[in-house]
Structure formats: structure tokens, C-alpha cells
Amino acid sequence: MLVLVINCGSSSVKYDLIEASEEKEICHGIVERIGAVTSIVKHEPLHGEKIKDTKVISNHGEALQEILDYLLTSDAKIISSPSDIKAVGHRVVHGGEMFKDSVLIDDEVKDAIKQAFDLAPLHNPPNLKGIQAAQERLPDVPHVAVFDTAFHQSIPSKAYLYGIPNRLYRRHKIRRYGFHGTSHYYVSRQYYKMTDKPKSKTKVITCHLGNGASIAAIEGGESRDSSMGFTPLSGLVMGTRSGDLDPSVLFYIVEKEELPLNSLHAMLNRHSGLLGLSGYASDMRDLISEAQNGDRRCQQAIDVFCYNIKRYIGSYFATLNGCDAIVFTAGIGENAPLIREKSLENLDALGVEIDPKRNREAEPGKTVKISSDSSKTDVYVIPTNEELVIAIDAAKLATAHDQSPWV
């Protein structure tokens, strides 16, 4: 069953065409810089020529049309009719408290996504634009929304409530939500599958370390805590996001630097994290290479990044009262042995021991066990595949209208 997976940002549309029953990607691509003088278009089919082009694409609807035209008319002849696509899965960042599962999209769902605009002003509006544009072009196909927050809806109130007046939660739903849900879900499921561990008895700490980064505590297949909070800004130090901060720091900065309050948003989201600490780069590859050349601030940024991972892992050992496995995933988690090793150094008190050779030699893109044979806790690298989760969810909901793999 062919599923088109759509991930819309404010100026980009990413897509993956997936044969869901075989869990196989047929083609993926992106339209970037939508609305700029020229947009960049990339298509990468499994078989056939990769395309990179520039075009004038002024909105998300035109981007969707470009993608469908390519799939229909390229030399690769990827589909012969739009009706070959049997479902469309949309990544939606924020489902608030309304969605514990993926859902078939109807007007009510679209209204609910709109209601969550205030919670994710950078993400939900383009997500909805993508849904509307795709529905216009593929009106006879079921469209499914898969939420980044859904997997974390099992977090208990003692972990999701902040210590602020309760009326703020009741009035404005200010609470911890947690993000990267599809990734934490996917890699934890891969771990259960691979090791034949019963889901109900297994405790896993999953570390999604990309430009955005978060850690989840998972017990019995359900999320119990997430390092990300009300927005994806909190928790770990990230590429350009600050992660956790004493809120008083903000008042202090506004006063001392004479900054308007709204400039803090850009500072914390785009100029902080690894970039802010190093003053050099947000990309981990650049930081590792400069640190190896002796750059002290790049080394410090790496140290802070790894220490925060370790802090959360330690805390989630307590949350779960033990842990069967720690899983690393996403760009840094899958590709940077140095970061994995540093994040888990001196954790023998918790029974965590990495095998340095296994860790160093772990092949990117492969699932690899990197803990030593004597480690009480397994440590794995498991490549994530959020698009596949979206495709499978969309396929299931499109064929059995009341089922979802989330439950």
C-alpha cells in the first residue's frame, strides 16, 4: 500500500513515498525556500536519477503539485495515477492534550490542530497548510495526522505539571508535552522486536540526538517522561536551542542587556545551544573537528552537551527504577561514537558499560549493540525512521478506520 508522507515546515515541504506493507521507501525529496525568489527542489528515487533543480514555487500548494507532478511524470514513472497513493500521512508537531493517537483528518481534527497554533506557532500553521494543500490535490484519499506529542500523552501528571499556579494549566494547558514521539516510539519498538523482550516488562531510555534533541523514559511501551516540555526548547542543550534554563535568567538578561522580551525567543531558539556555547557552529561534526584541533570553546560545548545527556539518563534511571536499555538515535546519536562514549562515561554505578571497540566500529545506518557483555544495561544504536511510523499509522487508519498502532 503506497503512502505519501508529508512534513511541512514554514518554507519547506519534505516528502517520502513509502510502500507501507513492505516497509520500503520508494522515493523521497524536499521543496525548500518556498516563497523565495527561487526555490530548491530535490527528488531522490530509490531507482533512477536524483534530481536537484531550482524553480519558482510560491506556496505549499504549488510545492505539493511539484511533488505529485514529479511522481507522475518523471522518467522513473514512480506512480501512474494519483489514485496509486492510498493514504497520506501528515506529521503534525503539536496535538495538545487532544490527541493520544494518530487520527483520520476531518474538519474537527483540522479545527483542533488550529486550536494548538498558540502552542506551536512555528510548526502547526505550516502543518495545517500542508494538510489543506494535499487534500485539495488528493481529495479521494484518506489523510491521517500523526502527532509528535501523541506518544508522550501517557506521561503522568506528576511529571507533566510545572510548579506554577494550577489555574495556568487549567486555563492555558501549560504543561510538559514532550516531542519527537514518533522517533522514541519507533526505536523503543525496534529494541523490543530485536531482543524479544516483552514490552510490558521492559524499561528503556531513548536518546534522540539530532539538531533538536530529547530523551524519553519508556516503561511498558509507554512514555513516562520527556526532557522536552511545553515546547521543544527545554531539556538537553541542542544545536541552536538552549535547553533547560533557570527562568530567572531571562528577566536578568532583559534587564542587563536591555533587550526587548520578544528578542529572547530568537536568542533561545536560534543563537543558543551548541552554537551559542561554542561561538562557532551548531553542527556536531564541525565542533568535534575544531575541538580536536584544540579549540577550547568547541570542546566545552561538547562537554556541556554530553553532561546534560548523562544528567537526564541518571534521572530517568530513578524515574523508571532501573533500565534495561539505553538507545541512541538520530544524526548525532547514530553517527558520533565520541558523544555516545562521553555521555555514558563513569556510569558503572548504574551498571552501564560501553564496549569502546563496538562503539567506535558501529556502522552508521545499522542497529548495533555497543555495551560490553558484562554491562547490566544494554546500550544500542538504532537508526530512527519517523516517516515509516507515519506511513504505517496512515496505512492502518486508512484501511481499518478505528485502529491505530499507538494503542
Task: Indicate the residue among 375 and 385 with the shorter CB distance to ligand ADP.
Answer: 385
Q: What nine digits make up the cell of 17?
A: 513515498
Task: Cell numbers for 259, please give them.
Answer: 533587550
Shortest reach from residue 331's CB to ligand ADP, in Å: 2
Q: Are strands 85-92 and 51-55 parallel, antiparallel or unpaired?
A: unpaired
Binding segment for ligand ADP (CB under 6 A), chosen from 82-90, 136-144, 149-157, 324-332, is 324-332
* Angle of helix 296-320 versus helix 284-292 axis, rounded to 10: 120
Distance in angstroms (rounded) separating the CA atoms of residues 361 and 336: 11
Smallest gap from residue 214 Cβ to ligand ADP (A): 10
Q: What is the rounded CA–CA span in Å between residue 193 and residue 234?
A: 31
Q: How far is the CB of 323 from ligand ADP (least distance, A)?
A: 23
Of 18, 138, 155, 336, the one binding ligand ADP by CB under 6 A: 336
335 binds ligand ADP (CB under 6 A): yes
Q: Sort 342 into a burial class: Cβ within 10 Å, 0-12 / 13-18 / 19+.
A: middle
Strand partners, 45: 27
Of the residues 174, 331, 379, 397, which one makes contact with ligand ADP according to CB under 6 A:
331
SS3 state of residue 145: strand
321: left (phi over 0), alpha (psi -120 to 50) or beta: left
> Where would I find the beta strands (DSSP E) of 234-391?
325-329, 368-369, 378-381
CB nearer to ligand ADP: give 330 or 390: 330
Nearer residue to ligand ADP within complex by CB, 32 or 283: 283
- Write out the three cell numbers for 304: 556541556
Which residue in the list 148, 225, 324, 378 is annotated as catalytic? 148
Residue, CB closest to ligand ADP? 331
Gap between the Cα atoms of 279 and 302, Å rounded: 12
User: Interface with ligand ADP by CB under 6 A: which range of 32-40, 210-218, 346-354, 392-400?
Assistant: 210-218
Considering only 126, 212, 232, 243, the residue that binds ligand ADP (CB under 6 A) is 212
CB 151 within 8 A of CB 223: yes
Task: For residue 379, list its beta bridge partners.
Answer: 326
Q: Which stretch binds ligand ADP (CB under 6 A): 102-110, 246-254, 278-286, 367-375?
A: 278-286
Q: How far is the CB of 286 from ligand ADP (least distance, A)?
A: 7
Q: Is 211 in the site for ligand ADP (CB under 6 A)?
A: yes
- Nearest approach in angstroms of CB 338 to ligand ADP is 8
DSSP annotation of 122: T
The grid coordinates of residue 266 equal 530568537
* Amino acid at residue number 182: T
The string over 190-213, giving b where at least 16 C-beta atoms fall within 10 Å of a residue's C-beta and e elsewhere, is bbbeeeebebeebbbbbbbbbbbb
Q: How far apart are CA 331 and CA 211, in angstroms?
A: 8
Residue count of the chain, please give it. Answer: 407
Minimum CB–partner distance for residue 197 and ligand ADP (Å): 26
Residue placing its CB nearer to ligand ADP in the complex, 124 or 278? 278
Return the residue of 24, 52, 201, 285 that touches ligand ADP, per CB under 6 A.
285
Cell digits of residue 181: 514521539
| Interface size with ligand ADP, residues (CB under 6 A) | 13
Residues 148-187 binding ligand ADP (CB under 6 A) are: none
Cβ proximity to ligand ADP, 61 vs 212, nearer residue = 212
CB of 311 vs ligand ADP, minimal distance in Å: 20
- Nearest distance from C-beta of residue 25 to ligand ADP, angstroms: 16
Asked if 194 and 367 touch (Cβ cutoff 8 Å), the reply is yes
Contact characters 215-254, ligand ADP, x per CB under 6 A: ------------------------x---------------
In what order do the strands lie in the sheet containing 222-226? 222-226, 213-219, 203-209, 325-329, 378-381, 368-369
Q: Which stretch binds ligand ADP (CB under 6 A): 89-97, 171-179, 188-196, 204-212?
A: 204-212
For residue 402, indicate whether it is catalytic. no
Using rule CB under 6 A, residue 283 touches ligand ADP: yes
Closer residue to ligand ADP, CB minimum distance, 101 or 148: 148
Catalytic residue positions, numbered: 148
Applying CB under 6 A, the residues found at the interface with ligand ADP are: 210-212, 239, 283-285, 288, 330-332, 335-336
